Amino acid sequence: MATEIQVPQLGESVTEGTIAEWLKQPGDAVAVDEPIVSLETDKVAVDVPSPVAGVISELKAEVGDTVEVGAVIASVEEGATGAATGGEEPARSQEKREEGKKERSDQDEATDAASVDSSQTLSPAVRRAVLEHGVDPSTIKGTGKDGRLTKEDVLAAARNKRDDGASEAAPPAAAAPAAATGERREERVKMTRMRQTIAKRLKGAQEEAALLTTFNDVDMTAVIEARGKYKELFAKKHDIKLGFMGFFAKAACLALKDVPSANAYIEGDEIVYHDYVDISVAVSAPNGLVVPVIRDAQAKGFARIEKDIADFGKRAREGTLTMEDMKGGTFTISNGGVFGSLMSTPIINPPQSAVLGLHRIEDRPVAVNGEVVIRPMMYIALSYDHRLIDGREAVTALKIMKEAIEDPTRMLIDL
């Protein structure tokens, strides 16, 4: 008996998605709840599982097709046997995925995002496999359409790397032809649905809002000393590292309490204010920038905020963030410092009216009590919608954040 596979509900207001990659082909065996296709929506990639065990009998959509929620995209012949067993192969694949996750669990989020060569166009599933197994996609020969990488190509490369170090033994002649001829090449690749959405939203923000950015610099000495003094106790008690983002999230909550317009947005001819702070945190994922939300940040302690951020980073790398994770948000924090940025003018995340940009910390000479000293300094930037937020309010909000970071006690006694 054939069972139809339909596009599931993808989230509130999301009515369609794009076929990013078929993880199974006709004749392949599948187990219950084993993913058969990766769908890309405006915000996240979603793996669609098979509701039954059997064999893929037909694919009714191609890679790149746009499919609506409820549309039939494949069928499974229930109980049949195919090219692979329905139980052993998924188990081995799961084991390999868990091994890859364990190997990379201690690596930094920014390193994970940067480890995939951005010049290559990879599907969400392939990118996840590359990150999980720590392989270099530029050294793998793709067997997919037009020579593109498939998930199976990555898994095969990972096996070779573990078993016999094949990546080190690869013949150097493979790259020789391009170098010898000096051929100039270009490639046209259709933008992913997520990248198109990011482009539209950011351009829309520039066209709709009256954007302006105010800057300040922060002496990070007090925060660095606090982290150094309490990091071991903090990690032991809360099982999470004490990072910088927790300090800035709490500092932002103080500022937004005193400057509520920076935590509001315009809807029609009304201003919507919030008595809570939901902070969107910009996170680099393999298939684009995502902004999961820390709910009720004003009511959370440092440990809970740090755990939320770590969880978002982990799930962004794995491609398991959901639409609900990114719904809402009243204010955004974007940390370009992890990539080495010295200064930037971040763009607001509509419909929000303000975004805080963090940058790298570097030793600089500053004047303190009439003397020139070297201090760890960071430039911070607040971009805001001038239609709603006046310059005085924006400068005040940024100044409150600066003072809270330079004297963290303020965050404890609500000053």
Which of 5-9, 183-187, 225-229, 286-290 is the least confident region?
Answer: 286-290
Per-residue confidence (pLDDT) for residue 185, from 0 to 100: 87
Residue 123 predicted with pLDDT over 50: yes
pTM of the model: 0.63
Q: What is the mean pLDDT of residues 32-45?
A: 78
Which of 4-8, 184-188, 304-308 is the least confident region?
Answer: 4-8
Q: What are 351-366's pLDDT values in tens digits?
A: 999 999 999 999 999 9
Higher per-residue confidence, 258 vs 100: 258
Q: What are 317-349's pLDDT values in tens digits?
A: 877 888 788 888 999 999 998 888 999 999 998
Catalytic residue among 28, 390, 407, 414: 390
Contact by Cβ (8 Å): 31, 90: yes
Contact by Cβ (8 Å): 331, 259: no
Give the whole-angstrom CA distance, residue 106 versus residue 73.
38
CATH number of 2-78: 2.40.50.100
Q: What is the mean pLDDT of residues 262-279?
A: 94
Give the whole-angstrom CA distance, residue 73 versus residue 6.
6
Per-residue confidence (pLDDT) for residue 47, from 0 to 100: 79
Share of the chain above pLDDT 90, in %: 38
Q: What is the DSSP string of 238-249?
A: HSS---HHHHHH
Give the whole-angstrom CA distance, residue 141 versus residue 143.
7
CATH number of 194-413: 3.30.559.10
Of the candidates 354, 351, 301, the residue with the CA atom closest to the CA atom of residue 331: 354
Per-residue confidence (pLDDT) for residue 318, from 0 to 100: 79
Contact by Cβ (8 Å): 293, 305: no
Q: What are 210-269's pLDDT values in tens digits?
A: 999 999 999 999 999 999 999 899 999 999 999 899 999 999 999 999 999 999 999 999
Q: Beta 331-335 vs 279-281: how paired, if at all?
A: parallel
**C-alpha angle with apex 263: 250 to 209, nearest 5 degrees?**
130
- CB neighbours of 126 closer than 8 A, spacing ≥ 6? 21, 137, 149, 150, 151, 153, 154
Q: Residues of CATH 3.30.559.10 domain(s) within the chain?
A: 194-413
Higher per-residue confidence, 306 vs 59: 306
Per-residue confidence (pLDDT) for residue 108, from 0 to 100: 42
Per-residue confidence (pLDDT) for residue 180, from 0 to 100: 54
Which of 36-40, 69-73, 130-134, 176-180 is the least confident region?
Answer: 176-180
Q: Residues of CATH 2.40.50.100 domain(s) within the chain?
A: 2-78
In the annotation, is 133 catalytic?
A: no
Per-residue confidence (pLDDT) for residue 121, from 0 to 100: 55
Q: What are 46-90's pLDDT values in tens digits?
A: 778 888 888 888 888 888 788 888 888 888 887 666 544 444 444
Q: What are 375-414's pLDDT values in tens digits?
A: 999 999 999 999 999 999 999 999 999 999 999 887 776 6
Given CA atoms 329, 330, 335, 336 in this order, what sign does their dihedral have?
positive
Catalytic residue among 325, 386, 407, 414: 386
In the annotation, is 390 catalytic?
A: yes
